[in-house]
Structure 1
Amino acid sequence: MSQLDQVKSETPPQALDRSDVRVRHDEGIRGTVRAFIDRVRSGDLGMLPVAVGLVVISAVFTALNPVYLAPNNLVNLLFDCATVGIISLGIVCVLMLGEIDLSVGSTSGLASALFGSLWVTQGWPLGFALIAALVAGVVIGSLYALLYNRLGMPSFVATLAGLLALLGLQLYILGNAGSINLPYQSPLVMFGQILMMPKWLSHALGVLPGIFTILVGMRVIRRRREANLSAGGMAGLLFKAAVLTAVIEGVVYYLNLGRGVPWMFGLFVALVIIMDYAFTRTKWGRSMQAVGGNKEAARRAGINVRRIYASAFILCSSFAALGGVLAASRLASSSQQAGTGDVNLNAIAAAVIGGTSLFGGRGSAYSALLGIIVIQAIANGLTLLNLSSSLRYMITGAVLAIAVIVDSLARRSRASHGRA
Structure 2
Amino acid sequence: MSDKSTETRPAGAPLDRSDVRVKHAASAGDVISAFLDRVRSGDLGSLPVVVGLILIWTVFTSLNPVFLSANNLVNLLFDCSTIGVISLGIVCVLLVGQIDLSVGSMSGFASALVGVLWVNQGWPALAAIVVAAIAGAAVGVLYAVLLNRFGMPSFVATLAGLLTLLGLQLYVLGPSGSINLPYDSVMVNLGQLMIIPAAVSYVIALLPGAALLIAGWRTSARRRASNLSAASSTSLLIRSIVVTVLLEIVVAYLNTGRGVPLMFGLFVGLAVALDYALRRTRWGRSMNAVGGNREAARRAGINVRAIYTSAFVLCATLAALGGVLTAARLASASTQAGTGDVNLNAIAAAVIGGTSLFGGRGSAYSAVLGMIVIQSIASGLTLLNLSSSLRFMITGAVLAIAVIVDSLARQSRVSHGRA
For the criterion TM > 0.5, the same-fold answer is yes
1:84/1:346 contact within 8 Å kept: yes
Does residue 1:413 correspond to 2:380, yes or no?
no
AA aligned opposite 1:384: L
1:28/1:233 contact within 8 Å kept: no
SS at the partner of 1:418? helix
Equivalent runs, 1:340-359 vs 2, <5 Å: 340-359=339-358
> Which residue is equivalent to 2:18?
none
Q: Distance in 1 between matches of 2:296 and 2:345?
A: 33
1:39/1:45 contact within 8 Å kept: yes
> Which residue is equivalent to 1:330?
329
Does residue 1:40 correspond to 2:39, yes or no?
yes
Q: Distance in 2 between matches of 1:197 and 1:254?
A: 14
Does residue 1:217 correspond to 2:216, yes or no?
yes
1:306-346 CA deviation, whole Å, 9 max, x = no partner? 00000000000000000000000000000000000000010
Q: Distance in 2 between matches of 1:401 and 1:35?
A: 29
1:90/1:317 contact within 8 Å kept: yes
Q: Distance in 2 between matches of 1:381 and 1:274?
A: 30
1:31/1:232 contact within 8 Å kept: no
2:24/2:231 contact within 8 Å kept: no
AA aligned opposite 1:53: G
> Which residue is equivalent to 1:71?
70
> Which residue is equivalent to 1:181?
180
Return structure 1 stretches of 4+ with deviation > 3 angstroms: 23-26, 28-31
Q: Distance in 1 between matches of 2:348 and 2:30?
A: 34
C-alpha displacement of 1:24: 6.4
1:95-141 CA deviation, whole Å, 9 max, x = no partner? 00111000000000000000100000000011110100100100100
Further displaced range: 112-121 or 23-32: 23-32
1:361-399 CA deviation, whole Å, 9 max, x = no partner? 001000000000000000000000011111100000000
AA aligned opposite 2:404: I
> Which residue is equivalent to 1:370?
369
2:25/2:231 contact within 8 Å kept: no
> Which residue is equivalent to 1:246?
245
> Which residue is equivalent to 2:15?
none
TM-score (normalised: structure 1): 0.94
> Which residue is equivalent to 1:51?
50
Q: Distance in 2 between matches of 1:133 and 1:32?
A: 47
Q: Distance in 1 between matches of 2:399 and 2:364?
A: 18
AA aligned opposite 1:385: L
C-alpha displacement of 1:34: 1.9
SS at the partner of 2:286? helix
Q: Distance in 2 between matches of 1:302 and 1:29?
A: 42
SS at the partner of 1:180? strand
Q: Distance in 1 between matches of 2:329 and 2:67?
A: 21
SS at the partner of 2:179? strand
Stretches of structure 2 lacking an aligned partner (at least 5 in a row): 1-9, 12-21
Equivalent runs, 1:244-283 vs 2, <5 Å: 244-283=243-282
C-alpha displacement of 1:30: 3.5
SS at the partner of 1:27? coil
Does residue 1:196 correspond to 2:164, yes or no?
no
Q: Distance in 1 between matches of 2:196 and 2:281?
A: 30
AA aligned opposite 1:250: I
Does residue 1:113 correspond to 2:112, yes or no?
yes
1:84/1:323 contact within 8 Å kept: yes
The percent identity for this pair of structures is 69
1:72/1:259 contact within 8 Å kept: yes
> Which residue is equivalent to 1:321?
320
Q: Distance in 2 between matches of 1:273 and 1:249?
A: 18
C-alpha displacement of 1:232: 1.2
Shift in CA distance, 40/102, structure 1 to aligned 2, threshold 3 Å: same
2:23/2:230 contact within 8 Å kept: no
Equivalent runs, 1:386-401 vs 2, <5 Å: 386-401=385-400
Q: Distance in 2 between matches of 1:127 and 1:264?
A: 16
SS at the partner of 1:151? coil
Cα RMSD, aligned residues only:
1.3
SS at the partner of 1:338? coil
Q: Distance in 2 between matches of 1:28 and 1:278?
A: 32
> Which residue is equivalent to 2:309?
310
> Which residue is equivalent to 1:144?
143
> Which residue is equivalent to 1:127?
126
C-alpha displacement of 1:25: 6.9
AA aligned opposite 2:372: I
SS at the partner of 1:353? helix
Q: Distance in 2 between matches of 1:200 and 1:86?
A: 25
C-alpha displacement of 1:166: 0.2
Q: Distance in 2 between matches of 1:228 and 1:113?
A: 57
Q: Distance in 1 between matches of 2:81 and 2:270?
A: 10
SS at the partner of 1:339? coil
SS at the partner of 1:133? helix
Q: Distance in 2 between matches of 1:44 and 1:24?
A: 19
2:108/2:337 contact within 8 Å kept: yes
Q: Distance in 2 between matches of 1:230 and 1:31?
A: 15
1:234-255 CA deviation, whole Å, 9 max, x = no partner? 0000011111111111110000
AA aligned opposite 2:277: A
SS at the partner of 2:26? helix
AA aligned opposite 1:82: S
1:94/1:312 contact within 8 Å kept: yes
Does residue 1:298 correspond to 2:297, yes or no?
yes
1:33-75 CA deviation, whole Å, 9 max, x = no partner? 2221111111111100111111100110001111000000000
AA aligned opposite 2:108: G
1:206-249 CA deviation, whole Å, 9 max, x = no partner? 00000000110011000000110011110000011111111111
1:141/1:315 contact within 8 Å kept: yes
Does residue 1:88 correspond to 2:71, yes or no?
no
C-alpha displacement of 1:31: 3.4
